[in-house]
């Protein structure tokens, strides 16, 4: 599915600003692939947040993915078309994650978990909900009180959590890209409450990780083949969660050592 197809599929969801962005992209398609989001928003006379929301409406995690998609499409998929090995993509992401985990020092966050009275897990998206369920299951097995909360500040669950939230509680927030604008209001409210926030996102600089107390990173990548634009690895999130919680169990038994193989 190409850019034109994506626009047609989501056309009814697009605002007037979105449609203006479409016109700009279609008119400047060859140049967009080399534009930063700042350059794009300035030249298209729109805001960065509008560009990000537009990209997400088309199914991308943010502007960077949209830009790369446009660049690949203008090059007709490059040399990767038809020659990409998906198994190697999964293995590569997993190997990079394991290498980074071996260097992590999670001692400070383990101490916070041990002292916490309650743990809340906030998530959006189907994939992240499955990851949140696994995180909840693993933490429950360690004896912690864990609740899943929808990432919607208007929901009854979220409002009730705010009423109960105390200094000894902690919050995990799961997001694939960390650039979900719907979460910004949620995080801003929690930061005003001086909550201890732990973000779990893909390995890159993102808004959520910058606005969290502590950040955990998985490794997720999309297929470079445009014909498989919908394929993206997410298994490393589960590897990260299991490694993190098993490490916490080691900590509880006095066996946790930073950088241990």
The C-alpha atoms of residue 91 and residue 192 are separated, in whole angstroms, by: 40
18 is a domain residue: yes
What 3 state SS string does 29-73 have?
HHHHCCCCHHHHHHHCCCCHHHHHHHHHHCCCCCHHHHHHHHHHH
Domain of 199? Answer: 86-252
∠41-45-49 over CA atoms, to 5°? 45
81 is a domain residue: no
Q: Are residues 245 and 156 in the same domain?
A: yes
pLDDT for the residue 78: 45
Q: Are residues 138 and 224 in the same domain?
A: yes
CATH number at 231 reads 3.40.50.10490
**How many domains is the chain built from?**
2
Q: Are residues 121 and 146 in the same domain?
A: yes
The DSSP secondary-structure symbol of 113 reads H
Query: Which of 43, 75, 107 represents a domain boundary (last residue)?
Result: 75
Q: Are residues 221 and 124 in the same domain?
A: yes
Q: Are residues 220 and 153 in the same domain?
A: yes
260 is a domain residue: no
Q: Are residues 126 and 235 in the same domain?
A: yes
Q: Are residues 12 and 47 in the same domain?
A: yes
27 is a domain residue: yes
Q: Are residues 64 and 164 in the same domain?
A: no
Contact between 47 and 41 (Cβ < 8 Å): yes
194 is a domain residue: yes
Q: Are residues 146 and 226 in the same domain?
A: yes
Q: Are residues 150 and 66 in the same domain?
A: no
pLDDT for the residue 79: 43
Query: Which of 36, 56, 75 represents a domain boundary (last residue)?
Result: 75
Contact between 32 and 40 (Cβ < 8 Å): yes
189 is a domain residue: yes
pLDDT for the residue 200: 96
80 is a domain residue: no
CATH number at 10 reads 1.10.10.10
Using the structure block, give the residue that is written with the tokens 């906030």. 122
Q: Are residues 66 and 109 in the same domain?
A: no
Blockwise average pLDDT, block size 10, the chain, 261 residues: 74 85 87 90 92 90 88 61 73 94 94 96 86 96 94 91 92 89 86 93 89 95 67 92 97 83 48
Q: Are residues 196 and 238 in the same domain?
A: yes
258 is a domain residue: no
């Amino acid at each position: 599915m190409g850019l034109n197809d994506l626009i047609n599929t989501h056309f009814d969801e697009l605002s007037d600003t979105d449609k203006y962005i479409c016109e700009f992209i279609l008119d400047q398609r060859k140049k967009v692939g080399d534009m930063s989001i700042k350059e794009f928003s300035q030249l298209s006379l729109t805001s960065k947040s509008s560009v990000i929301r537009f990209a997400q409406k088309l199914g991308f995690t943010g502007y960077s993915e949209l830009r790369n998609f446009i660049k690949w499409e203008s090059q007709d998929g490059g040399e990767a078309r038809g020659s990409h090995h998906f198994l190697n993509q999964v293995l590569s992401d997993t190997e990079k994650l394991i290498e980074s985990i071996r260097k992590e020092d999670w001692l400070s966050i383990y101490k916070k978990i041990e002292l916490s009275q309650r743990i809340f897990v906030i998530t959006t998206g189907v994939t992240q909900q499955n990851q949140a369920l696994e995180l909840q299951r693993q933490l429950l097995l360690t004896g912690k009180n864990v609740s899943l909360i929808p990432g919607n500040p208007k929901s009854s669950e979220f409002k009730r959590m705010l009423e109960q939230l105390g200094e000894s509680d902690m919050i995990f927030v799961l997001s694939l890209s960390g650039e979900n604008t719907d979460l910004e209001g949620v995080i801003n409210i929690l930061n005003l409450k001086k909550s201890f926030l732990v973000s779990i996102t893909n390995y890159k600089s993102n808004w959520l990780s910058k606005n969290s107390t502590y950040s955990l990173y998985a490794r997720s990548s999309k297929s470079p083949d445009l014909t498989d634009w919908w394929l993206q690895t997410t298994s490393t999130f589960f590897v990260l969660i299991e490694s993190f919680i098993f490490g916490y169990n080691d900590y509880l038994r006095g066996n946790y050592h930073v950088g241990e193989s």
